[in-house]
Amino acid sequence: MKRVHTVQVVPKLPEKLAHLREIAMDMHWSWHPDAIDLFRRLDQDLWRAVDQNPVLMLARLSQSRLDKAARDGGFLSHLERVWLDFEVYRSEQTWYNSMYPDMENLHVAYFSAEFGLHESLPIYSGGLGILSGDHLKAASDLGVPLTGIGLMYQKGYFRQYLNADGWQQEKYPEIDVFHSPMKLVMTEDGSPLEVTVRVGSREVALHVWRVKIGRINLYLLDSNVLNNHYDDRRITEILYGGDSETRIRQEIVLGIGGIHALEAMGIKANVFHMNEGHSAFMALERIRRIMSDHSLSFEEAREAAIVSHGFTTHTPVPAGIDKFSQDLMEKYFGDYWPSLGLDRDSFMRLGGVIAGDKQTTFNMAIMAIGLSTYVNGVSNLHAQVSRQMWHQLWPM
């Protein structure tokens, strides 16, 4: 049987509008109203129809409309203004460089299960994602040397609608990666960068997508790789979709796979931030690597690692914290904890499991708190509530 190919025909961008594509491929436009107005000016109805996605918009605009814009002096003047502002933004002295000129070697790796950058990239569901997205935008504005690590959900989070009978329904919009502001990270030979992470009994291959956000990058891990097992391709399918087993698989990819991806790209971070407990397995992988590289015990490597770990908790109620059964932890980490020099009970205690009590669950927030030097909440009130929630971790 002959292989079927999909061919997409897109209009040719006139030379005078060439900067439009570069502006569209950098999420910098998403928090700059003049840039948003530039794209809206091309076709306001289409702009709304494509969820304000400028990359998709440029692919769907008619050739005649683009040619007309290339002859429109007012539009060309607007484009030049936006482009010059963008150029100045990328080249000007930043707050960070002026305040900390001697800290050129600092680099922060910011792990989060969701990033709310803009509605055209629906890889977020609520406050956690909006905050992490705003952190990346602020880091870009301030010039903070930061790299984001997340997951590339094929369908993102669901949207609600009412059917003909008035019942609430959900639909999962599939992200068109080739018409979104992202690019596959490639190797020197022109092939996609591929890293692997062990998830249960199989090695799972991951591709990495890069999203430009002004001065910084967000890297999204994608398990939808052709050679992966069908079940593994679906690990990064839906944000917060599926059961606890789906969740632990996603969190292994995010935390452990994220460390693998940073290493493969040559990004040498020395501060690691966990935005909520979803990425806490990252701390284990860092400890494991320090043990291996420097022939240290678990406790020695733990002390060396946690000074560079920070954790932000978002959830002010115990029911909202990620917890996994001991059976599930054994299934996915039974072959992993020996590499940490730990036995079962020692490993389980990292997540607050009480030895001999088979009903207690492995708590991701407890592990993240125990493997971090700096722990904070998202507000003063939330910090007070969190201290009450976790007071048992520091008995009098």
What is each CA distance from 90 to 67, 253, 263, 289, in whole angstroms? 29, 32, 26, 35
Measured from the Cβ of residue 64, the count of other Cβ atoms closer than 10 Å reads 9
Residue 298 phi, psi dihedral angles, 5° rounding: -60, -45
pLDDT of residue 392: 78
With beta carbons less than 8 A apart as the criterion, state whether 279 and 258 touch.
Answer: yes
Cα–Cα distance for residue pair 64/321, rounded to 1 Å: 53
Q: CA–CA separation, 62 vs 302, rounded Å?
A: 58
Residue 1's pLDDT band (boundaries 50, 70, 90)? Answer: very low
| For residues 209-232, average pLDDT | 97
Q: Which residue has the higher pLDDT, 9 or 323?
A: 323
pLDDT value of position 5: 56
CA distance 185 to 37: 30
The number of CA neighbours under 13 Å toward the Cβ of 218 is 32
Confidence band of 163 (pLDDT split at 50, 70, 90)? confident
Residues 186 and 190: their CA atoms lie apart, in Å, by 6
Residue 10 pLDDT > 70: no
Dihedral sign, Cα of residue 142, residue 143, residue 145, residue 146: positive
Asked if pLDDT for residue 222 goes beyond 70, the answer is yes
pLDDT tens track for 271-319:
999 999 999 999 999 999 999 999 999 999 999 999 999 999 888 777 7
Other C-beta atoms lying within 10 Å of the C-beta of residue 359:
8
* Whether the model pTM is above 0.85: yes
- Bridge partners of 211, per DSSP, are 218
**pLDDT on residue 377:** 86
Q: What is the pLDDT of residues 76-133, one digit of tens each?
A: 999 999 999 999 999 999 999 999 999 989 999 999 999 999 999 999 988 899 999 9
Distances (CA, A) of 162 to 13, 125, 166, 170, 175: 39, 19, 5, 9, 22
Count, residues in the chain: 396
Q: Is the pLDDT of residue 2 over 60?
A: no
Please tell me the distance from the alpha carbon of residue 104 to that of residue 96, in angstroms, as a whole number. Answer: 10
Contacts of 150 (CB under 8 A, 6+ apart): 111, 112, 113, 114, 115, 123, 132, 218, 219, 220, 221, 254
Residue 9, C-beta contacts closer than 8 angstroms, at least 6 positions apart:
none
CA dihedral 326, 250, 125, 21 (to 10 degrees): 170
Beta bridge partners of 271: 108
Residue type, 160: Q
Tell me what the mean pLDDT of segment 239-259 comes to. Answer: 94
Report the DSSP beta bridge partners of residue 184.
209
Per-residue model confidence (pLDDT) at position 4: 55
Q: Is the pLDDT of residue 338 over 60?
A: yes
The token pair that represents 395 in the structure block = 């008995």
- DSSP, residue by residue, 108-144: EEEEES---S-TTS----SHHHHHHHHHHHHHHHHT-
Q: What's the CA gap between 131 and 116, in Å, rounded? A: 7
Task: Give Cα separations from 264 to 51, 146, 258, 281, 339 (angstroms).
Answer: 34, 17, 10, 18, 21
pLDDT > 70 fraction of the chain, expressed in percent and rounded: 97
Query: Residue 385's pLDDT is what?
Result: 85
Quote the tokens at residue 288.
């494991």
Phi, psi angle pair for 248, to nearest 5°: -65, -35
Flag whether pLDDT at 59 surpasses 80: yes
